[in-house]
Structures are given as structure tokens and as C-alpha cells.
């Protein structure tokens, strides 16, 4: 059996709402996390909740070297509102030779600059969550995740026509051009969907397909 990859340490810069949730989640997943923030109050707030929290200005290369940042392969720049600090920090991490640098951007222009200075991945949490919630409030969709501009995954109740039938009988893919990935019976838990899966009212499906097909499918619920 293939061995699990070891969980690698992650450097998290900025303990705002995004950075702190990220750092705590990584820690709960077993990653060693070094969190850096320039605010003494933030450092104090998280000192008891994360194993390593240090106060430093991440735009200062020497300060980051001193806390051992250069030893990390993975880093997340979770500074958003202070665009200058976000860009300078990303540039410093590139200069320190960190291989994977994920940076949070507030706008498309901010994202482009982060890519130019060397971020390996740029995320837009506010924009992405806004888009996701728009899909959730506009119909009966329970959750929505766009994998890229053209393909999406959605959690949705089944269309009326599928209730009381198996997936195979109804022919979900042929009718709606989406793939049902998994199915959750009312009160139960998710399992992989097959042609024999019987769908009842109150069940939940996770479907994959083009954004337009997924959106159409969810509107039939």
C-alpha cells in the first residue's frame, strides 16, 4: 500500500479572519504551523491556540529569516486589506526561496501583481464566497463550488422527476448532461452514486458538470 505523504509545515502570514481560520484548520489537520503577525494584540490572541505565533513585520526580509521562514516549503500570505504589505511579503517569500506561496487577493489587479511577483497560487476568498452564495440564494442549491470558469460541483435536492426512481432508470446524464457524484438519503450520510441508487424526496445529490448544466439541474428541484 502507498505510504501517506507526511504533513508538511506551513508558514502563515497574517492572522486576520482568513489567516486565523486557515492556521487553525491546518493545525487541526496535523500540520506544524508557524504564524506571523505584526500586531502584538493578534499574536497574544492566538498564542494559546496555535503552537508557534511570532510577532514580526513580514515585509522585512531579515525579520522573516530570523524566525526561520526560509526553512518552509509552503507559505500562505493572508494579508488582504494592506495591499502593499501583501505584495512586499510575497516578494520577500520568493526571495527566501519558498517553493509554494499561496496569496490572498482582494481584487483582480491585486491578484495579477501577486502572480507577477511570484505567488504560485492566488485566491480570492471574498469574491469566490460571494459567487458561491449567489448560487445558493438564487434557487434550492445547498452548496456550489466552481472548479474553473466552466465546470462546477453543486449540492442540491433531486429534480422532481427523479424522485422514486433509480439513477439508471431516469438517465440523469443523458437527460441533463451532469454526473451525480454522490447521494445522501434523508437522515443518512453521503455515499458514491451508482446506476442502482434509488432517489427519494428529501435526499441530497452532489452533481458535477458545466456551470450552465449544473445550474439548470438544480433549478428542477
Residues at the site binding ligand ATP, with contacts judged by CB under 6 A: 13-19, 36-39, 42, 57-59, 79-82, 85
Which residues, in sequence order, are CB contacts of 189 under 8 Å at separation 6+? none
* CB 11, CB 74: distance < 8 Å: yes
Nearer to ligand ATP, 24 or 82 (CB): 82
Least Cβ distance, residue 118 to ligand ATP (angstroms): 17
Cα–Cα separations (whole angstroms), residue 117 to 102, 103, 111, 127: 12, 11, 10, 21
The DSSP-derived string for 43-71 is HHHHHTTSSEEEE--TT-HHHHHHTTGGG
- What is the SS3 assignment for 74? strand
Half-sphere exposure of 219 (CA within 13 A, CB side): 9
Nearer to ligand ATP, 103 or 162 (CB): 103
Least Cβ distance, residue 19 to ligand ATP (angstroms): 6
Least Cβ distance, residue 124 to ligand ATP (angstroms): 12
Residue by residue, what is the 3-state secondary structure of 92-127?
HHHHCCCCEEEEECCCHHHHHHHHHHCCCEEECHHH
From the list 182, 175, 184, the residue with the least C-alpha distance to 217 is 175
Least Cβ distance, residue 91 to ligand ATP (angstroms): 12
Nearer to ligand ATP, 36 or 117 (CB): 36
Least Cβ distance, residue 123 to ligand ATP (angstroms): 12
Nearer to ligand ATP, 37 or 155 (CB): 37
Nearer to ligand ATP, 16 or 185 (CB): 16
Amino acid at each position: 500500500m502507498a505510504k501517506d505523504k507526511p504533513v508538511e509545515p506551513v508558514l502563515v502570514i497574517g492572522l486576520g479572519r482568513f489567516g486565523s481560520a486557515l492556521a487553525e484548520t491546518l493545525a487541526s489537520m496535523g500540520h506544524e504551523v508557524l504564524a506571523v503577525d505584526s500586531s502584538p494584540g493578534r499574536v497574544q490572541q492566538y498564542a494559546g491556540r496555535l503552537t508557534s505565533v511570532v510577532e514580526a513585520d513580514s515585509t522585512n526580509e531579515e525579520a522573516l529569516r530570523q524566525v526561520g521562514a526560509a526553512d518552509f516549503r509552503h507559505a500562505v500570505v493572508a494579508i488582504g486589506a494592506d495591499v502593499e504589505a501583501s505584495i512586499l511579503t510575497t516578494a520577500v517569500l520568493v526571495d527566501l526561496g519558498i517553493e509554494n506561496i499561496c496569496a490572498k487577493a482582494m481584487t483582480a489587479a491585486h491578484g495579477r501583481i501577486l502572480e507577477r511577483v511570484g505567488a504560485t497560487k492566488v485566491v480570492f476568498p471574498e469574491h469566490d464566497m460571494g459567487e458561491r452564495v449567489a448560487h445558493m440564494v438564487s434557487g434550492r442549491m445547498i452548496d456550489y463550488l466552481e472548479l474553473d470558469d466552466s465546470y462546477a460541483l453543486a449540492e442540491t435536492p433531486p429534480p422532481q422527476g427523479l424522485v422514486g426512481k433509480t439513477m439508471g432508470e431516469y438517465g440523469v446524464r443523458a437527460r441533463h448532461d451532469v454526473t451525480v457524484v454522490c447521494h445522501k438519503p434523508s437522515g443518512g450520510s453521503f455515499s458514491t452514486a451508482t446506476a442502482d441508487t434509488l432517489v427519494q424526496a428529501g435526499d441530497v445529490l452532489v452533481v458535477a458538470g458545466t456551470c450552465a448544466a449544473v445550474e439548470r439541474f438544480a433549478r428542477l428541484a
